[in-house]
Structure 1
């Protein structure tokens, strides 16, 4: 074993003689530019922060494992799901969505739920939220939606006018808005919330047979949420409350776990199901497609270095393995590009080579060069394909399974425009106290909205979901439920 060298060095490995005093022209003279150790320290310090994520900037992460408890190989050939008892190492990052890197954990916001499985066939990322649906269903609206959640470019303050204006003009958001404004909008901890893949994905088995699938991570700790007043108090007193809770739980051996379950839909059902199964603003009824257990995720190790592991971790729903493919979900299709591209910008071209992102089975391709390429860059091996020099070759058995598509190339929306049924069903599932808190949260969030027409338009959406829902919000705002004609006037 090599004896540990305790000498402080520069970034190029040379021993540092003095790390307390810079080189100057005499004790009161100016600092000399020849103090390269000083220059290197300052230059590196200026660059210690990579750009924060545009969304999901604030987060916490942990390592763990996923263990299969039910054989579902009849549905997918993904090797990490191939046999009961099989364990796969994984890393998860929880996050808020809208806030900056230093924002509070206990705000009302969806939580990101991004899991990286280090499988023998490469990494598999499942990048979802703690909600089964989302605000929009087409990626072309995503930049506009996120702009409304960020700061106003003039005041640099959060802008409820923008938030509710966008939601009121995007009725597909109603289902997610109802979840967000409910008790589940502020989880008690990261440990006490569910996670969802949200989108529809496709599983394919060894025989080439495919099904549609949705992922549900059910917390084994039980669902717990925060009272709004306690959440506000914690935001001021301990803005890192969720981050601290997760770290301490794992450090104390209280390892959190989730049971992964899936819904399976035959491909042909997608043509006739009463809701478009690829619309991420909708859920599949569990009466129609019951939950099937897959396995258990356990978090048992904290990161050794937050920046190296949590901040530099990169996730994308396009990080797939054989046996798991995508669906025509319009929001998912946009994310397949946007996430990888965000990481190339934020972390760098070679972000997949970083230890936290590098697959355990290695990388074997013809991609070369780029900023911060820190491995052997392919060495002297062949660097193009096809070639006659025994370079890595494609494996046709790992092609994505086909599915039929048809139609005219045009800017089109989903065929189904029922944005109210599922939101209304959710409202009616709540007990009286839960509905009262939901309405109270909405009223408090909408009161600062300056334009009455925005409030009236949104009230009408609540009313269409459930008359009581809309009426109570209107009463809380001192308004009456408008007619369709009044909304359109």
Structure 2
């Protein structure tokens, strides 16, 4: 009986005090996830005062179980990121090149979400690292979401998606040492001469942006635009920062990484909060589809740019960021971008890296977030409604008409196909099999890297050489060093000589 237990009276008095404590002033009631009211959120249920916990404490178990599951697998690449909302406004008429509705009229605005990120490091890595930056934009158009997933560089290290997992493994933490290894980084690059152009970008002055606001963004890949007449054009996107380019040198980047690993996140958050809204002007390079076959470079090679003298920049509009997310996890960590989210008037090109990403990005999100990740608010269409026959799966919404059928075609007025392709068909020829990219007149892995080097001032060249030598000199194998040096010699004789001298000087020390 209760009255025979030790301390029963004291226990009873404590219980009375709890029941008669003043109630909180808020009118909102704390509940379990099932909606039941919670009587005490400060003390776990125990077997008597000071006794062990009770398995029947549903609130405690639910709270701890949810806490254990608050984190989802981080992105394998682009794990460390920041995001913001804003809008895109058309400033110039491009209807002669695309029938995309959100680009159809000067002055038209489209809401968007953008995510900036580093590439190689983990979720807790510093913002001010020497690394490419992701520049991913989700346009919430009236014809569905359009995702433009690019970087802050116009080129990349490789041109075939088959090499992507190996490339990322070489840049990430070594499975034995648990840290990034110069041997791995430079060994992969030694066997991938096509990386020389992007290495020259990365090790140059733009390798560490001072903030996300002070860098350009690029679609990087070649995409296809199709106009109302069915004419096809290949395009490259350039988002030019209106804040001006600002970058950090190696010493400044290292210092800032130590002082504030969240430097870029802090800058973006605070600038928007105080009403200083960052903006970019969007330009495109446009190539009539018929010109692609005879262009001097392979126009679908991600390791190459189109010189502006060949295809000048044409202005399209203005991107403005004016609102911070309310919850970083829900809106930045769970944001999901996929380059296969096209809208009518925009489609893919034969760019092999783009083709690989059309599958890989969406599949990564199905793994990380579940097959229904497109129903999350940050990913769901906002200017239209998704209407299809996708059902069930983890975290499925039950916001379906209970009479709706989950198959097509049907006789019950379900959604039907439009019979209007998003973009023009791509011409195909030849035999199936594994093929190297087709060679164009000036296709090689070194010419554009040399062109970029020769554009630099003497001070820029000095910093570039120092940055390359600082990493390459740490490589333990002489043959790997020599292979990399050969790439810089091939890009420009002076470039190669200066890097070689700097590496040898550091290795002798």
Place the TM-score, normalised by the shorter chain, in its bin: over 0.9
Tell me which of 120, 124, 131 is aligned to 2:153: 131
Equivalent residue number for residue 397 of structure 1:
420
Kept in 1: contact 2:345–2:422 (CA 8 A): no
Note if contact 2:347-2:422 (Cα within 8 Å) is conserved in structure 1: no
Of 382, 405, 409, which residue of structure 2 is paired with 1:382? 405
Aligned twin of 2:504: 478
Q: Return 5+ residue gaps in structure 1 as ranges.
A: 481-489
* Equivalent in the alignment of 1:170: 192
C-alpha offsets along residues 431-458 of structure 1, whole Å, 9 cap, x if unaligned? 0000000000001111211001111100
Equivalent-residue separation in structure 2 for 1:265 and 1:305 (angstroms) = 41
Select the structure of larger CA radius of gyration: 2
CA distance in 1, matches of 2:178, 2:400: 44
Q: Specify the alignment match of 1:456 in structure 2.
A: 482
The Cα of 1:404 is off from its aligned counterpart by 1.0
- Residue of 394, 407, 430 corresponding to 1:371: 394
Tell me if structure 1 keeps the 8 A contact 2:85–2:323: yes
- 2-structure distance, mates of 1:323, 1:165: 42
In structure 1, how many angstroms separate the alpha carbons of the residues matched to 2:100 and 2:171?
37
Structure 1: how far apart are the matches of 2:27 and 2:98? 50
Give 1:415 shift: 2.5
Query: Matched residue of 1:264: which SS?
Result: strand
1:200–1:329 CA contact under 8 A, matched in 2: yes
Distance 2:402 2:161 in 1: 39
Partner of 1:483: none
* Contact kept in structure 1, 2:344 and 2:423, CA below 8 Å: yes
- In structure 2, the residue matched to 1:487 is none
Tell me which residue corresponds to 1:264: 286
Offset, 1:378? 4.8
Report the Cα distance in structure 2 between the residues aligned to 1:479 and 1:436, rounded to whole angstroms.
14
Shift of 1:15: 1.2
The 5-angstrom pairing of residues 74-153 of structure 1 reads: 74-153=96-175
CA distance in 2, matches of 1:439, 1:379: 65
Residue 465 of structure 2 corresponds to: 439
Judged with a 3 Å threshold, the aligned counterparts in structure 2 of structure 1 residues 16 and 479 are, in CA distance, closer, same or farther, namely: same
- Given that 2:346 and 2:422 are in contact with CA atoms closer than 8 Å, whether structure 1 keeps it comes out as no
Q: Is this contact kept in 1: 2:131–2:208, CA < 8 A? A: yes
> TM-score by structure 2 length?
0.92
Residues 1:253 and 2:300 are matched in the alignment = no
Mapping of 1:308-387 within 5 angstroms?
A: 308-360=330-382, 361-387=384-410
> CA offset at residue 377 of structure 1?
3.9
1:254 shift after superposition = 0.5
1:410 to 433, 439, 449: 433
Please tell me whether the aligned partners of residues 369 and 377 of structure 1 are also in contact (alpha carbons under 8 angstroms). Answer: no
The answer to whether 1:45 aligns with 2:67 is yes
Task: Give CA-to-partner distance per residue, 1:318-370, whole Å, 9 cap, x none.
Answer: 01100000001000000000000000000111000111000020110011111
Task: Give the C-alpha shift of residue 229 in structure 1.
Answer: 1.0
380 and 41 in structure 1: CA distance in 2 versus 1, 3 angstrom threshold: same
Q: CA deviation at 1:479?
A: 7.3
- SS state at 2:240 partner: strand
Question: Can you list the C-alpha shifts for 1:270-305, whole angstroms capped at 9, x where unaligned?
Answer: 111110000000000110100000000000000011
Q: Distance in 2 between matches of 1:342 and 1:402?
A: 27
What residue number does 1:486 align with? none
Give the match for residue 20 of structure 2: none
Corresponding pairs, count: 477
Residues of 2 paired with 1:309 and 1:226: CA distance?
29
Match of 1:154 among 176, 179, 184: 176
Residue 360 of structure 2 aligns to a residue in which SS? Answer: helix
| Structure 2 stretches lacking a partner, 5+ long | 1-25
Distance in 2 separating the partners of 1:5 and 1:279: 61
Q: What is aligned with 1:469?
A: 495
Asked if 1 retains the 8 angstrom alpha-carbon contact of 2:174 and 2:180, the reply is yes
Give TM-score, length-normalised by structure 1: 0.96
Deviations 1:51-106 (A, max 9, x none): 10000000000000000000101110100000000000000000000011111000
